[in-house]
Amino acid sequence: PGLHSLFVAAGKQYFGTATETNNFNDAPYLAILNDPNEFGQITPENSQKWEITQPRQGQFVFNNSDMVAAKAKTNKQILRCHTLTWHSQLPSFVTATSWTPSTLRAVLQTHLTNVITHFRGACSHWDVVNEALAETGEYRPSVFFNVLGESYIPLSFSIAASASANDPIKPKLYYNDYNTELFPQKTEGALRIVKLIQSSAASGARIDGVGFQSHLTVGKTPSQAALASTYQSFTALGVEVALTELDIAHPSLPATDADREQQAKDYVAVVGACLAVDKCVGVTLWQFTDKYSWIPGIFPGTGDACLWTADYKKKPAYFAVRQLLESA
């Protein structure tokens, strides 16, 4: 048994990982990615982002994202789709134009409708709005917020609901963010966003879930009880939750044996919290091997955050999570 088969046996929908086309010529990587016992779900790490899917206004490009979708299909894995309205990885036509509210609304309408329609029948979930909050819980400045205020959030969810209305697999529509389990003001901000979308139902908006990205730090990961209680504050509003980008980085390297034992405890706390919350539906790793982790590129000197080493050895954290799932 592997992580996915055990997680499903424990009543959850999927255990998965982010992956990208630049990983697809790596045979040892693929041997793990393609193992249906380990992973029942994949997320494209970059190829569905705006700068790649619509690099110039009106020009849509799906080469790489189609390859990730095809991989999911071949492997019979669920495809979580990521992401539509986000301040980052935007093409310059979005960031360098002075929009009026109505022209920017039209740009959102075109982008979301085209991308969602292209992946009709393939996506089980869409991260519709990503990272709308600053660490203070206030809205993050972005081209969308600066021109449209908070209205861009329910607008994105209403476009997504209407573009996916006839989709045979009816994707679940998610708000996705990080540090929402760490900073109380950011938790409050995300709860406010869920309520804002729910209160916009008359305009066709709908939210089904909240993604906790879960980019966490070894030794600074909240306890299982604290995490579960945060997740429950969202499920109490009627939405499901998922851990959408899990990795737990060592704050300094190299990691000692003791650091790796702490990392194992932290992974167990997080996956255990999902197990403990009925409406926590799944866990996605943000890459499963350190070989392709985004962390050292952005935070040099930190990392080793994944369950497998760069040379594909399972870490203590892998075995600890597997043991947790075996006893679940």
Q: Tell whether residue 88 is a contact of ligand G3I (CB under 6 A).
A: yes
Shortest distance, position 93 Cβ to ligand G3I, whole Å: 18
Given the complex with ligand G3I, which of 89 and 323 has the nearer CB atom?
A: 89
Given the complex with ligand G3I, which of 59 and 89 has the nearer CB atom?
A: 89
Catalytic site residue 245? yes
Shortest distance, position 73 Cβ to ligand G3I, whole Å: 22
Given the complex with ligand G3I, which of 24 and 294 has the nearer CB atom?
A: 294
Given the complex with ligand G3I, which of 200 and 287 has the nearer CB atom?
A: 287
Given the complex with ligand G3I, which of 200 and 213 has the nearer CB atom?
A: 213
Footprint of ligand G3I on 278-297 (CB under 6 A): 294
Shortest distance, position 81 Cβ to ligand G3I, whole Å: 12
Shortest distance, position 64 Cβ to ligand G3I, whole Å: 10
Catalytic site residue 131? yes
Q: Tell whether residue 89 is a contact of ligand G3I (CB under 6 A).
A: yes
Footprint of ligand G3I on 37-76 (CB under 6 A): 45-46
Which among 53, 123, 117 has a CA at the least distance from the CA of 89?
53
Active-site hit among 20, 131, 181, 240:
131
Given the complex with ligand G3I, which of 107 and 285 has the nearer CB atom?
A: 285
Q: Tell whether residue 245 is a contact of ligand G3I (CB under 6 A).
A: yes
> Which value, to the nearest 10 degrees, does the dihedral of the CA atoms of residues 165, 132, 86, 283 take?
-70
Shortest distance, position 138 Cβ to ligand G3I, whole Å: 19
The count of residues interacting with ligand G3I (CB under 6 A) is 8
Among 23, 213, 221, 262, binds ligand G3I (CB under 6 A): 213
Residues 109-148, one symbol each (x = binds ligand G3I by CB under 6 A, - = not), give ---------------------x------------------
Contacts 24+ apart (CB under 8 A), 25-28: 26/291, 28/312
So which residues are the catalytic ones? 131, 245
The footprint of ligand G3I (CB under 6 A) covers: 45-46, 88-89, 130, 213, 245, 294
